[in-house]
Structure 1
Amino acid sequence: MVAYCSHRPWPTRLGALVCCALFLAGCSGKKPDSVVTPLPPVAKQPLADKASSFQEPVRGVWLATVSRLDWPPINSINASSAASRNSQQQKALTDKLDQLKSLGVNTVFFQVKPDGTALWPSKILPWSDMLTGKIGMDPGYDPLQFMLDEAHKRGMKVHAWFNPYRVSVNLKPGTEAELNRTLSLRPASVFVLHRDWVRTSGDRYVLDPGIPEARDWITSIVAEVVARYPVDGVQFDDYFYTESPGAMLNDSETFREYGQHFASKADWRRNNTQQLIEQVSRAIKQLKPDVEFGVSPAGVWRNRSYDPAGSDTRGAAAYDESFADTRRWVQQGLLDYIAPQIYWPFSRSAARYDVLANWWANVVKPTHTRLYIGVALYKVGEPSKKEPDWMIDGGVAELRRQLDLNDANPHINGTILFRESYLHQPQTQKAVSYLRQRWADQATVTAQ
């Protein structure tokens, strides 16, 4: 394993951080070299002593705040007063939690860092404009604490969901101007404090994952939340390296500075992602060992045509596209759980649901890492020429088949729906009724 860039021992680095804080895209034309990730010894996972005890299967949902996709309601931003705005936002959230509780959901994955802003009073990040319409404006309450209080009151767990590297969702001049205006704030945006860390990629501003200080900064943000809040878990989504053909990340200069000892830029990039996962995992376990750490990556680790250890699939792979060796993290015991996004039906030959779910089950089988499957609620009831299964019987047939597989495989420990707002769409209502019957019954049995 490559050593950390800093020569200081890890506890010192963590102490400094805490004190400071307190799919289916076609494969690219050129086929990459096959690099079979060697199977390392299975490390003892930090929560291994709990592995044998019963844990209720996760019945989860992602609740996105980026672009106000699920919450807060856009109308609240234009409220006549701060009190009215906050009342609307809090009622919207408790209404959602009440519905999730009635559905049998027991875990909410709540997006607390949608970009370079925060949904809690951070000493590192400015307030999110998702709450007030303006970056850095104090909304007058703590959304993360409110969510924790209300969810825990209802017997539901909350995992704080972070997008690690995203600074903004677009490159519009207005966005850049708003980020620049945070210079007078305490804290200001990373966009103005560390402009040399920021790149453009995938039509957005992002941090360069190859800069060690940027990784330390992200770790300090996670440490701040874990130290200050009774979160049940921390989750990173799949946005590590996020490029698109027309908007590649220009990290050539960073590679020249830090990548001298790597055979390729791809290997160097994967090592950068590896280092972030390692140090965040260690930080969480040193602060609060009971807080779970997980990642929700793209459903495909590698295709078998590129790597004999990969799945029998043909699609964009985390290893090659996002430079995230997700399988390795499971094998090394760095994660309490992994939640791959398997957003395709059984009939999608390029990435069959059962092929991927069973492949991941075999990956976690010899480890203490739990496996939750991300399911595409957003496709349910939607017409699709390539995936007509989502329309059959209102999507219930496909959903039932996926949940049946998850429940039947002893190495799959739960399901997470993407995402909360789709529970309210007309096209999903038949499937939601089915979910309520199935999951609410399971919740009742568990409670008895």
Structure 2
Amino acid sequence: MTSQLKHKLKHRILLFWAALLAVVMLGEPAIALLPPSVVPWGAEPGEITPIPESFQKIRGVWLTTNDMNILRDSSRVQSAMAELSQLNFNTVYPVVWNSGYALYPSVIAQRAGIPYIHRGAAGQDILADVINQAHHQGLLVIPWFEFGLMAPPSSELALAHPEWLTQRQDGSQTSGSAAGEVMWLNPFKPEVQQFITSLVAEIAARYDIDGIQFDDHTALPSDFGYDPYTRSLYQQETEQPVPSNPRDPAWMRWRADKITDFVAQLNQTVKQYRPQAIFSVSPNPYDTAYNSFLQDWVGWINRGLVDELLVQVYRWDMNSFTDQILRPEIQMAQTQIPVGIGILTGLRHRPMPMSMIQSQVLRSTAQGLGVAFFYYESLWYDAPEPVAERQARFQDLFSVPAPRFSLR
């Protein structure tokens, strides 16, 4: 048995006993299942051992740069964590990498010529403050590398390291995104991999985290990768010229596999410093993730690289939402790891009605899926209904606690 398999078995066994304790203490229904390939001590091979539904009950929220007015104020962070705990949330995902900047005092970023610009109002370390306050309220904290391999053209990162960027076939280097115009770091270059990996190691070594999350931007648009370095590497490894068609199946698979290898490196780094940490990913639905962004998250799960999956299903229409959460790859993932659905609770200039949020949560939980919300202030502060009404509706949705057990 390999050391990685031993670790995964130990991790699942500990989760089993922690979850069993939840049955005794909380009366949680024992309806979720461990994968048949992983059984606790005393079980016979082939048995499927029931564990509580709470194993799958991710109830999370992303803390974004839109929430910076709260994150910079320690007293407001304290109030926010207390609110979330009282409403039976169990996980927060604070942003630590956005627009080419670290949202914590990073030595690695400073060495790369990236200044530290996101301090608290009193000069405090925002990430350390969130971790302390969240843990005090019994919430897990999984820092989130929001921008992944993206960086705005005007960022110090893009300006200081143009050799780290990749391009399209016509030489263009920017693309549109929800965050505006961005450039893409080349995931195939060792220098880029080393930089991102070092940021991950820095956080894992310095902070009392429960995991680390990578999202749909730890990827590459499928029409990128035509820079000289990547062309040369492809020709060297395949003895074939780079196809002119960005959607050529072999060319897509080669790039997707390289990104998968990079994710494996990130996973190994996290586990080196925090063996019990949750390696979380929050991609787009699989068709979009793979075909548009070369992100083979099904392959990541099959390789045992993912401890938690949150699929971003940001939809304003229930039919489209339902179609996505019933996809077979989500059902497959549920047999192996905790899975949740990312639900949009509103944008700054387009609030989401609470009735739609409620419908999406109920539809997700009916499938045994957890949920996480984008983003904190849109839960109830930047919303069309009064704060008290929104919070009461969330209280109805999460009427009983669903603790997640940290093994950090």
User: For the superposition of Structure 1 and Structure 2, which TM-score range results when normalised by the shorter chain?
Assistant: 0.7 to 0.9
Give the CA deviation at 1:222.
0.6
Q: Distance in 2 between matches of 1:44 and 1:255?
A: 34
CA gap 1:130/1:103 in 2 versus in 1, 3 angstroms: same
CA gap 1:445/1:365 in 2 versus in 1, 3 angstroms: closer
Q: Distance in 2 between matches of 1:253 and 1:432?
A: 53
Q: Distance in 2 between matches of 1:45 and 1:328?
A: 20
Say whether 1:72 aligns with 2:69.
yes
Per the normalisation by structure 1, the TM-score is 0.66
Contact 1:235–1:295 under 8 Å retained in 2:
yes
Alignment of 1:287-366 (within 5 A): 287-298=273-284, 300-302=285-287, 317-344=288-315, 347-348=318-319, 351-357=320-326, 359-366=328-335
Residues 89-108 of structure 1 show CA distances to partners (whole Å, capped at 9, x for unaligned) of 22332232233233322111
Q: SS where residue 92 of structure 2 aligns?
A: strand
Give the CA deviation at 1:225.
0.7
CA gap 1:362/1:422 in 2 versus in 1, 3 angstroms: same
Partner residue in 1 for 2:191: 213
Q: Distance in 1 between matches of 2:131 and 2:404?
A: 22
The AA in structure 1 aligned to 2:126 is P
The AA in structure 2 aligned to 1:235 is Q
Partner residue in 2 for 1:144: 127
Per the normalisation by structure 2, the TM-score is 0.72
Partner residue in 2 for 1:47: 11
The AA in structure 2 aligned to 1:269 is R
Q: SS where residue 13 of structure 2 aligns?
A: helix
Higher strand share: 2
Give the CA deviation at 1:432.
3.9
Residues 127-147 of structure 1 show CA distances to partners (whole Å, capped at 9, x for unaligned) of 4434489xxxxx732111111
Runs of at least 5 residues in structure 2 that lack an aligned partner in the other structure: 1-6, 20-53, 167-172, 176-180, 239-248
The AA in structure 1 aligned to 2:108 is I
The AA in structure 1 aligned to 2:164 is W
The AA in structure 2 aligned to 1:59 is R
CA gap 1:58/1:352 in 2 versus in 1, 3 angstroms: closer
Contact 1:297–1:318 under 8 Å retained in 2:
yes
CA gap 1:370/1:161 in 2 versus in 1, 3 angstroms: same
The AA in structure 2 aligned to 1:221 is L
Partner residue in 2 for 1:30: none
Q: SS where residue 294 of structure 1 aligns?
A: strand
Q: Distance in 2 between matches of 1:152 and 1:446?
A: 12
Partner residue in 1 for 2:382: 425
The AA in structure 1 aligned to 2:364 is N
Q: Distance in 1 between matches of 2:347 and 2:69?
A: 22
Contact 1:301–1:325 under 8 Å retained in 2:
yes
CA gap 1:224/1:190 in 2 versus in 1, 3 angstroms: farther
Give 2:339's match in structure 1, choosing from 344, 368, 371. 371
Give 1:122's match in structure 2, choosing from 95, 106, 113. 106
CA gap 1:437/1:445 in 2 versus in 1, 3 angstroms: farther
Contact 1:201–1:242 under 8 Å retained in 2:
no
Q: SS where residue 353 of structure 1 aligns?
A: helix
Pairwise CA RMSD: 3.4
CA gap 1:338/1:264 in 2 versus in 1, 3 angstroms: same
Contact 2:313–2:324 under 8 Å retained in 1:
no
Contact 2:348–2:382 under 8 Å retained in 1:
no
Give 2:84's match in structure 1, choosing from 100, 113, 127. 100
Runs of at least 5 residues in structure 1 that lack an aligned partner in the other structure: 1-42, 74-85, 134-138, 180-188, 303-316, 384-389
Q: Determine what percentage of the aligned residue pairs are the same residue.
A: 24
Contact 2:278–2:308 under 8 Å retained in 1:
yes
Contact 1:330–1:363 under 8 Å retained in 2:
no
The AA in structure 2 aligned to 1:198 is L
CA gap 1:230/1:382 in 2 versus in 1, 3 angstroms: same
Contact 1:165–1:209 under 8 Å retained in 2:
no
The AA in structure 1 aligned to 2:229 is T
Q: Distance in 1 between matches of 2:148 and 2:265?
A: 15
Q: Distance in 2 between matches of 1:444 and 1:48?
A: 18
Q: Distance in 1 between matches of 2:374 and 2:10?
A: 28
Give the CA deviation at 1:257.
2.1
Partner residue in 2 for 1:58: 58
Deviates more, 1:219-228 or 1:419-428: 419-428
Q: SS where residue 155 of structure 1 aligns?
A: coil
The AA in structure 2 aligned to 1:301 is Y
Q: Distance in 1 between matches of 2:404 and 2:200?
A: 32
